[in-house]
Amino acid sequence: GARQQTNLCNESLMLEKLPACGKFFEEMMKKVDSRKWCNLTEFIMYYDNFTQCTEREANNASCFWPNPLAEGFITGIHKQFFSNCTSEKVHWEDPPDEILITLILIPVMLTCAMITLVVWCSKRSDIL
């Protein structure tokens, strides 16, 4: 029988090649105003090239992608460029009292009406 040869992941080769991807991404990000680093539309093409590069280098080293080492490298790049990008927290507020009372009373009134209807129908079961 024929045996399929499997290549083992050469982690050291991959870790040697990944910084070139990071360096290229860093050079491209210099073209973007740092105040716009949190706006993905400003650098999406550079980021896409960066991820393709990391995937290609991992595959060239016979490693699957993503893998823990590549993820660690990508996380480092994220910390370098996007550490100040935080999502704004949504401030929830109660609706005005008129709306709140209406939203509470409608289900209560419907429940009372349904109970009344069930009781009335059960007392008149002889007719139904």
pLDDT tens sequence across 70-103: 999 999 999 999 988 876 666 788 889 999 999 9
* 21-34 mean pLDDT: 94
- Percentage of residues in the chain having pLDDT higher than 90: 70
- The token duo for 21 is 């991807």
pLDDT at position 5 is 47
**Strand ranges for the chain from DSSP E:** none
What is the Cα 10 distance to its own chain's centre? 30
Pair 27, 9: CB distance under 8 Å:
no
* 5-15 mean pLDDT: 85
Q: Determine the CATH number of domain 9-81.
A: 1.10.150.510
**pTM score, whole prediction:** 0.61
